Amino acid sequence: MLSDVMEDYLKAIYTLQGEHGPPVSTSDIADYLDKTPPTVTSMLGKLEERGLVDREKYKGVELTHEGETVALEVLRHHRLLEAYLTEHLDYSWSEVHDEADTLEHHISEEFERRVADLLGNPTVDPHGDPIPGADLEPLEQEETSRLSDHGVGERVVVARVSDRDEEELEYLEAAGVTPGTTLEVVDVAPFGMVTVHVGETTREQSLPEAVAQSIRVRSPRADETAQTGANGA
């Protein structure tokens, strides 16, 4: 049986593989989990012994098939719990990450199934992150970019936001910047502020560059473009 800490490492490696591709460096894992590199190195050795990661000296680690399956199961628990806490227990989206981090290791598969059924088997959590299916097949990565990479006049749709910073999530919620919201970049200041129109309004919102970097966006789909045109007609 794996410890909660081992599962946290596997989940972190899976997330970092999705962001940067494998292999994942020890320093990236240490930064993500707020651990020291020697602590990470020690844990990676234990995970390698169990056949959950492959390590290549001086390059980093990659999940094995077994390690990936464990990571997907933990992610499924985590993201279903975030959705459940938000929809049925009146948690705000800024509060659910830490609660889900604690609970994700301790729910049964029956509990997971019942939560999924109650929620209607959602495909994304409140922050826009995809929820792995019950088959635990690898997630298809939606093509996204950082909001900070876009210039004046570009229209994008918020795909997902990081769930790791409670204050940042509260800020984004107050600004109306949530998954599915259309943004139009109206100004990019030399010192890093990105100003956008939020939704189909003329309301402007200025976002610090660090926040804009944490927001993943995609191009508007054809149906959204058509809807925007109809709203503006």
pLDDT digits (tens, 9 = 90+) for 100-156: 999 999 999 999 999 999 999 999 999 999 999 999 998 887 889 999 999 999 999
* Structure tokens, 93: 């989206």
User: What is 145-218's CATH number, 3.40.50.720, 2.30.30.90, 2.60.40.10, 1.20.20.10?
Assistant: 2.30.30.90
Percent with pLDDT over 90 in the chain: 79
Name residues whose C-beta falls within 8 Å of residue 166's C-beta, 6 or more positions apart in sequence.
Answer: 94, 95, 97, 98
Q: Annotate 193-210 with b (16+ C-beta within 10 A) or e (fewer).
A: ebbbbbbeeeeebebebe
**Band of pLDDT at residue 233, cut at 50, 70 and 90:** very low
- Residue 224's pLDDT is 56
> What is the mean pLDDT of the segment spanning 174-193?
91
* pLDDT tens per residue, range 67-85: 999 999 999 999 999 999 9
- Residue 58's pLDDT is 82
- Residue 19's pLDDT is 82
- Residue 35's pLDDT is 96
Ranges of CATH 2.30.30.90 domains, the chain: 145-218
What is the CATH topology of the domain spanning 4-63? Arc Repressor Mutant, subunit A (1.10.10)
Residue 222 has pLDDT above 80, yes or no: no
From the list 167, 172, 163, the residue with the least C-alpha distance to 212 is: 172
> What is the mean pLDDT of the segment spanning 81-92?
96
- Residue 221's pLDDT is 74
What Å distances lie between residue 43 and 24, 33, 48, 49, CA to CA? Answer: 14, 12, 9, 10
Ranges of CATH 1.10.10.10 domains, the chain: 4-63
- Residue 138's pLDDT is 86
- Residue 183's pLDDT is 96
Say which residue, 223 or 202, is predicted with more confidence: 202
Amino acid at 131: I
- Residue 57's pLDDT is 83
When mean pLDDT is compared across 1-5, 112-116, 198-202, 215-219, the lowest value belongs to 198-202
Percent with pLDDT over 70 in the chain: 95
**Band of pLDDT at residue 49, cut at 50, 70 and 90:** very high
**Band of pLDDT at residue 232, cut at 50, 70 and 90:** very low
